[in-house]
Structure 1
Amino acid sequence: MEKRVKSALRYSVLDGAAYYAMYGFGEYYFAAYALLLNATDFQLGILATFPILIASIMQLFSINLMHKFKSRKKSVLALVFLQGLMILPIILIYHIESYRLTLLTLLVTLYSIFGWLSNPIWVSWIGDLVPEKIRGKFFSNRQLVASSTMFVSFIIAGFILTYAKDNFVNEYAGFAVIFIIAVIARLISVYFLSKQYEPKLKIKKQDNFSFKQFLKEFKKRYKLGYFNVIIAYLSFMYFGLYITSPYIIAYLFKDLHFSYLQYVLFTATSLLFELAFLPIWGSFIDKYGPLKILKLTGYLLPIVPVLLAFSKSLPILILTQVVGGFLWAGFTVSSINFMLETTTKEKRVAAFAYYNFISGVFIFIGSLIGAYIIKLALELNLSSISSIFWSKYIIILLLGALMRLIAALIFLPKLKDIKVREEISSKDLLIKVVSSFPHRYFHRPINLHTKK
């Protein structure tokens, strides 16, 4: 491996750590900040998904933006710098008397636009940097470092908010502190990105394809079982996820009466097990390919919201997060690896931009449906029909699980492996992954041949 490539990959890991620190101190707490501003369920749903919708639409222009800058590196640096700066006015919204939630949504939308615009360009850049034979290992290790940073950042931020709530009028001072730290973290990320080498990208005329062309050829390419199938699957998967996802925080704080520390413990458990299993999943991806891992985790993920719906005590909820962290680690790293495998480097920017646009639309629709169902559950007084629906959020947890399952049953069988891989059944793969955990973290073999 070239020295400059090795150096770039090292800086990429550091960039990921700084970016996820911004996420842990900042973006992870946008919804909690909205609750401080007295957001309704509908406003929480809009805050979680409207920025994604607009940002995904804007991503369609990322290719033109990259050509205008004539460099993937310059494009990414400019965009992520602006993303970090958008957090500063978010801090000041608290002092405005009217339209605070509207302003928060608009600023988070700008924050998301800059971040999402950079994403397909960065994916193209990093995809060219990472040698194919170590992709699984590199991305899982990078994500391990990044998630570890986010885990620590998220916990520290939770303690800061708790301290602010206990020692001041409310927790606003805590939000101001953690959001400022988030800005600093993003600027550090910009520095590490600036130190990375950028391979030259030559795009031929035939490699350029418009969104119209993409849609026109979608059905034909869908039959191949590669990138277009995973676009369809992930779009419907995230549709089901976002029927539920924006309202989890309201469920925890309003109906389960979580404190900030309980929320930190609940969320941090998922992060902890996600980062613990990332290197394990990565090693299995390099051996068996991403598709087997994607199918295994995709079929099992619908279990998570069902477990959450029937759990009230914190210990049981924590166990639910253990399962969630384990599955999401494999799902995330396998899906990105499968998408990289099934796209050429010349078409990767456009392909990821179109995927993000389509999935963004599905995410937004999912959140609106979730908000409508919550409202309907209140009007129908479902709790009087059955004690199962003791909370208005139970119905969306179950519906979200059902949609994830339907997406998995329809699309996962249609996905095809682009390479010949070593065969293994889903059952054996699951056993191997789970059994690798204690061996990796607790078993230390004794070396009987140590030289004296």
Structure 2
Amino acid sequence: MTTAATTRSATVLDINGKRLSPVAIRRGMVVNMAAGALGQSWFALALGMPLIMFMERVGAAGVVIGLMAMVQSLAMVMQIPSALVAERVASRKKFWFWVLIPHRLLWFAPVFLALHFGRDPRVGWFLLAVVTISSMLASAGTASWYSWMMDLIPERVRGRFWSIRQSVVMLANLLSMVIAGWLLDAEWGGKDSSETMVGFALVYLLAATFGCADILLHTTVPEPQRRRVNLTGKVLASLREPFRNRDFLWVTLAFGMWNFSLGFARFGEVYLKRECGAKYSDLSALFISTALGCVVASYVWSRIMDRIGNRTACMLMFVVAPVFALAWWLAPAGDVALAFLPGQPVVPKIIVVLFAGNFFAAAFYSCTGLVQITLCSATTTPENRTLAMALHWTVVGLMGALGPVLGGVVMDLWEQTDFGLLLPFGLPFSYQHVLVLLHMLICWLIALPLLRKVQKGHGELPVSTFMGNPLRVMGVIQNIMLFSGAVSAKERARAVTQAGTLRLSYAVDDLREKLDDPSMLVRQNAVAALGRIGTDAAVQVLLDKLADPDSDLAPAIARALRSSRQPGVVDALLAKMKVGDQETIREIALTLGCLGDRRAADALLETLRSSDNPQLLSSSGEALASLDEETAVFEILARMRSSGNPVLRRSLAVAAGDLLGGRGRFYALLVQEEKEPSGSAFAECLSDLRSFLKKAGTDAAARRRCAECLEQFEDAYANGELRQAGEMLISGGILLASLHLGLTAVTDRDVLLDMLICRDSHLGVGVWLCNMLVIDGGALDVVYILLVLHFFRQWCLRRQGLLRGG
């Protein structure tokens, strides 16, 4: 595609064919949020707690209250014809306006009903008619609004937009509940709030005003040109098409059962008002708690839903959310004074319990709405998405419509009986507890198994990740939020490090992207994190980056692979070793030593022979020692003797000591001797030599001479006379070996050494060391003497079979 074509494809045009600038789009999104806040205020005041309390005040039966909820669900069937019409009209915004404005104007009717009829049971039926007509009109406008918004909001910011919008509208919900509770509990004209309907009239006057303002404000949001949709096929075929995708079917049925079970929860306010004596302000407080939970949850879940997978997020909601309904069973009876509030109001204890429980419950229940839209979109095609969404909501609405009706029947039947049962904390067992139990069982036994049938998405986390250690779960959530919200190098580096510390295998794809981060700190932390995770996928990411000639992470990758045993790691490291710089080769050499694969021995020996870099010599020597490459000891000792670098000499001496007498023993001797010269470690070495001497051979005179050499060696070493100490150690060691092999009669030293080597090949290394001491006696390093002492000690221990060294 050409550049011009790309530009045209990315340009958003309004309904008149004019270009919509990014500024205009952002302004439209902001207006949408503001209008949404007004719309949520209408919803909270018109259809929230005030509606149920209105019905309770006028004495409506439970069946009527159930029908009120049922018609709202049944009205969703209007989405199907409206979706077909919305795709054919010239302007979706105008269609939506003329459908929605009558829907909101209808809510001035409850103002008249409250003031004219008062507490008349017939008001319940009149209000049911208002709700029915209003719900049908509202559902008729849903499809066109959804299509309009999806074309306006850029795809790259949709998740963030919807999460911010939800926070804004829930804050409006919170404020509306405060206003509703105050208006309904206030005294009007000197009358108690329970004796007048003025409070309800004012609430619905505000609701209708806010609702109409929402529609009018929405008209200023720009309308983009619609995406062309092929609707030439038959309607029935179009309706059947979404269900060909089994995932769409399972999602629809799962949410249908979820909404069906939620219908049982619509009678909690009635129970609290009639059975527990709750005030309207108490009920408003519960809605406020719910709104606060939604605000917090929208911030958290919007950041982690995409990361953990929408199916996993939804299953988690279905598992955890119903647990909070147990608050109805565990709440205590009686009242409590809230001493921390002005006036110390007295409220039922169950209100306090539910206030806390609703906050956390809302954090999980609110997530299902966001996940529901995403799951449905993911299981449909763009060409048929609007109609498919309308179909989904219709089926869900039809299934959910039965819940409130059955709940109302249970409520009416229960009020005609008296079982006289009490819950563990004193509350009487009532219809609300039965409905809560039914909700939990339907969610866990029907809705959850249906949702599990949906195919697992790529990179989706298993639900078990969030069902284990709570501290680990919190760490996982915190890390996901850090990944999604980090805007500084420090924050991103911290998120990357935490992913490695927690070994979060799901973060491999995120860490892959961080390998190209502008910050070197982030890149190196990402490499270390992948190494700690250590899965096949994580190692493969590191190997791919190791093969990248433009990457500057080869040394860090080599370090990260030191505990990896996956096939191909050694081959990749050896290949990089041929073309890497000195730092890379050094780190690869150490890693090859850690991995213990003897295929690396030749490459390491070549580095040891050819390099003059002290760091490369040190690392390759250490790696060869880790591989137990005994033939390398002569190369190591040669480089050790030729080096004037005392640090390198000690490093090579440690490698040689590992090859001569066991891993780590000479290092322990060297470290302890540096801390305490001629100390316990040195004394233990001499003790082992003397112990071996007591049983070596039968020549008493040779044994005495050997003992004298060891004593003179000890004195000279303690006095810092290294040349003399070296000579005595050589003499004593050779005598000790000749005693053991029965060669004390040989007086020519050169002949004796040849015979010792022939009898015991391992002594060849000792002879080499002795020659080094003789040659370099004038500028002798203490490490030479300790190395020879270590060698003879380990040789003696091997002969005795003790092997008890450091």
Aligned counterpart, 1:5: 25
Q: Post-superposition shift, 1:211?
A: 5.2
Aligned to 1:86: 106
What is the match of residue 205 of structure 2?
180
Q: Spell out, residue by residue over 1:190-241, the C-alpha distance to the aligned partner (whole angstroms, 9 max, x if none).
A: 23311112222244435766356534762x421xx2x322111100111111
The code of the aligned residue for 2:47 comes to: E
Residue 385 and residue 416 in structure 1: after superposition, are their counterparts in 2 closer, same or farther (change >3 A)? same
Distance in structure 2 (CA, Å) of the matches to 1:438 and 1:416? 25
- Which one has the bigger helix percentage? 1
Which residue pairs with 1:61 in the alignment? Answer: 81
2:261 is aligned, of 237, 240, 245, to 240
Q: Which residue of 2 aligns with 1:35?
A: 56
The CA distance in 1 between the partners of 2:222 and 2:400, in whole Å, is 34
- Summarize the Cα distance change of 1:333–1:120 in structure 2 as closer, same or farther, 3 Å threshold: same
Letter in 1 for 2:123: R
Matches within 5 A, 1:203-352: 203-205=228-230, 210=235, 213-215=238-240, 218=243, 220-222=244-246, 225=247, 227-242=248-263, 244-312=264-332, 313=349, 314-352=351-389
Distance 2:306 2:72 in 1: 35
Structure number with greater CO (CA < 8 Å, separation at least 6) is 1
User: After superposition, what is the alpha-carbon deviation per residue over 1:351-392, rounded to whole angstroms, capped at 9, x for unaligned?
Assistant: 122122211211221122222333444556443598886223
Q: CA deviation at 1:136?
A: 2.1
User: Which amino acid in structure 1 is aligned with residue 432 of structure 2?
Assistant: Y
Q: Aligned partners of 1:434, 1:152: CA distance in 2, in Å?
A: 29
Q: Aligned partners of 1:125 and 1:10: how far apart in 2? A: 15
Provide the residue aligned with 2:152 in structure 1. 129
Aligned to 1:450: none
- Distance change (3 Å), C-alpha of 1:255 and 1:208: farther
Q: Is the 8 A contact 1:230 1:411 kept in 2?
A: yes
Q: Would the aligned equivalents of 2:261 and 2:442 in 1 still touch at CA under 8 Å?
A: yes
Deviations 1:282-311 (A, max 9, x none): 111243343322221121122132322332
The 1:340/1:127 distance shift into structure 2, 3 A limit, reads: farther
CA distance in 2, matches of 1:380, 1:184: 43
Of 99, 107, 112, which aligns to 2:122? 99
Contact kept in structure 1, 2:185 and 2:281, CA below 8 Å: yes
Deviations 1:319-371 (A, max 9, x none): 22122111123222222222233334432221122122211211221122222
Bigger Cα displacement from structure 2, 77-86 vs 159-168: 159-168
Deviates more, 1:331-340 or 1:181-190: 331-340
Contact 1:342–1:418 at 8 Å: present in 2 too? no
Q: Whole-Å Cα distance in 1 between the matches of residues 190 and 236 of structure 2?
A: 53
1:333-412 matches, within 5 Å, as 333-378=370-415, 381-384=418-421, 390-412=429-451
Check the 8 A contact 1:18/1:188 in 2, yes or no.
Answer: yes
Amino acid at match of 2:451: L
Contact 1:307 1:320 in 2 (8 A): yes
Pair 1:434–1:325, CA change in 2 (3 A)? farther
- Pair member with larger Rg: 2
Distance 1:197 1:299 in 2: 41
What's the RMSD between the two structures over aligned residues? Answer: 3.0
- Provide the C-alpha distance between the structure 2 equivalents of 1:361 and 1:212, rounded to a whole number of angstroms: 21
**Is the CA contact (8 Å cut-off) linking 2:44 and 2:173 kept in structure 1?**
yes
The separation in 2 between residues aligned to 1:332 and 1:269, in whole angstroms, is 18
Measure how far apart 1:402 and its partner are: 0.8
CA contact (8 A) 2:312 2:462 kept: no
Partner residue in 2 for 1:21: 41
- Distance 1:253-1:165 versus aligned 2 partners, 3 A rule: farther
Which residue type is aligned with residue 346 of structure 1? E
How many angstroms apart in 1 are the aligned matches of 2:476 and 2:279?
34
Evaluate the alpha carbon distance shift between residue 78 and residue 393 of structure 1 in structure 2; reply closer, same or farther with a 3 A threshold: same
C-alpha offsets along residues 76-134 of structure 1, whole Å, 9 cap, x if unaligned?
Answer: 22222112101011221232467321111001111111211111221222222223332
For the Cα contact (< 8 Å) 1:37–1:101, is it kept in 2? yes
How has the CA–CA distance of structure 1 residues 35 and 214 changed in structure 2, closer, same or farther, with 3 Å as cutoff?
same
Q: Which moved more, 1:422-431 or 1:330-339?
A: 422-431
C-alpha deviations, 1:13-34, integer Å up to 9, x for none?
1121111111122221211111
Q: Distance in 2 between matches of 1:202 and 1:437?
A: 34
Q: Secondary structure at the match of 2:245?
A: helix
1:73 matched residue in structure 2:
93
Q: Give a deviation string over 1:260-280, Cα, whole Å, max 9, x none.
A: 111111221111111122111
Q: Which aligned pairs between 1:193-208 and structure 2 lie closer than 5 A?
A: 193-205=218-230
CA contact (8 A) 1:79 1:118 kept: yes
Distance 1:62 1:432, change over 3 A: farther
- Letter matched to residue 276 of structure 1: V
Q: 1:71 to 1:432 in 2, by over 3 A?
A: farther
Corresponding letter in the other structure for 1:112: S
1:436, distance to aligned residue in structure 2 (A) = 8.5
The one-letter amino acid of 1:426's match is F
Aligned partner of 2:302: which letter? Answer: G
Please tell me whether residue 116 in structure 1 is matched to residue 136 in structure 2: no
How has the CA–CA distance of structure 1 residues 291 and 171 changed in structure 2, closer, same or farther, with 3 Å as cutoff?
farther
> For 2:259 and 2:296, how far apart are their aligned partners in 1?
24
- Secondary structure, counterpart of 1:291 in structure 2: helix
Change in CA separation of 1:435 and 1:287 when aligned onto 2, cut-off 3 Å: closer
The verdict on how the C-alpha distance between 1:158 and 1:355 changes in structure 2, with shifts beyond 3 A counting, is: same
Paired position in structure 1 for 2:168: 145
Q: CA separation of 1:335/1:168 partners in 2, compared to 1, >3 Å: closer, same or farther? A: same
> Tell me, which stretches of 5 or more residues in structure 1 are unaligned?
440-444, 448-452
Q: Secondary structure at the match of 2:161?
A: helix
Q: Contact 1:79/1:114 (CA < 8 Å) preserved in 2?
A: yes
* Displacement of 1:144: 0.3
Distance 1:236 1:260, change over 3 A: same
User: Structure 1 58/260 Cα, relative in aligned 2: closer, same or farther at 3 Å?
Assistant: same
Contact 1:240 1:400 in 2 (8 A): yes
- TM-score after normalising by structure 2: 0.50
Whole-Å separation in 2 of the counterparts to 1:137 and 1:209: 37
Distance in 2 between the 1:420 and 1:385 partners? Answer: 48
Say whether the 8 Å CA contact 1:137–1:286 is kept in structure 2.
Answer: no
> What is the deviation of 1:166?
8.6
- Please state whether the residue corresponding to 1:383 is helix, strand or coil: coil
The offset of 1:421, in angstroms, is 5.1
